[in-house]
Amino acid sequence: PFDVLVIGGGPSGASAAIYAARKGIRTGIVAERFGGQVLDTVGIENLIGTKYTEGPQLAANLEEHVKQYNVDIMNLQRAKRVEKKDLVEVELENGAVLKSKTVIISTGARWRNINVPGEAEFKNKGVAYCPHCDGPLFAGKHVAVIGGGNSGIEAAIDLAGVVKHVTVIEFMPELKADRVLLERVYSLPNVTVVKNAQTKEITGTDKVNGITYIDRATGEEHHIELEGVFVQIGLVPNTEWLGDTVERTPRGEIVVDKRGATSVPGVFAAGDCTDSAYKQIIISMGAGATAALGAFDYIIRETKTD
């Protein structure tokens, strides 16, 4: 059996595997797609210590770094079940059952798509999902934020300080964000809020040049010229496969303590799949390190040596 088995090959999983392997313990990593969300990212400017890198480059660096150590890498494998018995068992979709003293779940998250024409086509060409990451690329420009929940309104407030103008587009007749956020957003001179509006299309040529929406009250179609669209209709953790084994928040995020431990002894979690406050590369790498050290601590205290 493994001492530490990491599920997920994004920044948090890679970090957890390296920290575990450096303790000289038997470490494995199962990843559906090594690199994770980073593979879908173009420019990265906020990985501290690296002024600029690109997603595929960072993913390759993560894999190369993990390969420096004695880590059993099982890429292109999807986990479908985790169960605590004497050891923790992880079943893969190919039928294999892996056993480990500890498991670190780092299966990440995915941005919910709006699924309108133009979204996929202009991803990274004006269509963005992360204001902390891509906001500065739109300095002095006009952008839209789709979604008027907490993340959408936070994004609008954040972007308003960087870009020229923000138009928030909300499908429902009212914004769902917290009151303090609404007060703040309505106080900003360069934010316009459009409610009861259905996004129809993100337009562009080689990059985004506008957005078309339908006023749901009148059925009228409107077009706004702008350079960027931030889709903020939810970040969904990849935790459906866990069933009810570990405690999760109503949003599906795995609840972890300060050592990355979950509600199941021996099962740890890190990164975007957890209830961590913010979702970023550097934060998930830190969380992966924390979970690996937490797992190591657990092994030396709680499990029999063999």
Q: In angstroms, rounded to a whole number, what is the distance separating the alpha carbons of residues 273 and 252?
A: 8
Query: Which residue's entry shows tokens 């931030």?
Result: 230
Smallest distance from ligand FAD to CB 56, Å: 12
Continuous segment of H or E residues that includes residue 57: helix 55-67
Q: Which of residues 245-284 bind ligand FAD (CB under 6 A)?
A: 271-272, 279-282, 284
37 lies in the binding site for ligand FAD (CB under 6 A) = yes
17 lies in the binding site for ligand FAD (CB under 6 A) = no
Q: In angstroms, rounded to a whole number, what is the distance separating the alpha carbons of residues 124 and 40?
A: 9
From 41-49, 142-150, 192-200, 220-228, give the range in contact with ligand FAD by CB under 6 A. 41-49
Q: In angstroms, rounded to a whole number, what is the distance separating the alpha carbons of residues 292 and 300?
A: 12
90 lies in the binding site for ligand FAD (CB under 6 A) = no
Among 26, 40, 184, 196, contact with ligand FAD (rule: CB under 6 A): 40
Continuous segment of H or E residues that includes residue 279: none
127 lies in the binding site for ligand FAD (CB under 6 A) = no
Among 5, 7, 146, 208, contact with ligand FAD (rule: CB under 6 A): 7
54's CB contacts (< 8 A; 6+ apart) are 41, 42, 43, 44
Nearer of residues 107 and 197 to ligand FAD, judged by Cβ: 107
Smallest distance from ligand FAD to CB 95, Å: 14
Q: In angstroms, rounded to a whole number, what is the distance separating the alpha carbons of residues 37 and 52?
A: 17
12 lies in the binding site for ligand FAD (CB under 6 A) = yes
Among 28, 36, 135, 204, contact with ligand FAD (rule: CB under 6 A): 36
Among 2, 19, 122, 129, contact with ligand FAD (rule: CB under 6 A): 129
Q: How far, in Å, are 20, 242, 287 from residue 17 at the CA level?
A: 5, 21, 12
108 lies in the binding site for ligand FAD (CB under 6 A) = yes
Rounded-to-5 percentages of helix, strand, coil across the chain: 25, 30, 40
| DSSP codes, 115-148 | --TTTTTTBTTTEES-HHHHGGGGTTSEEEEE--
Q: Which of residues 160-219 bind ligand FAD (CB under 6 A)?
A: none
65 lies in the binding site for ligand FAD (CB under 6 A) = no
290 lies in the binding site for ligand FAD (CB under 6 A) = no
| Residues in touch with ligand FAD (CB under 6 A) | 7-13, 30-34, 36-38, 40-41, 44, 46, 78-79, 106-109, 111, 129-130, 133, 238, 241, 271-272, 279-282, 284
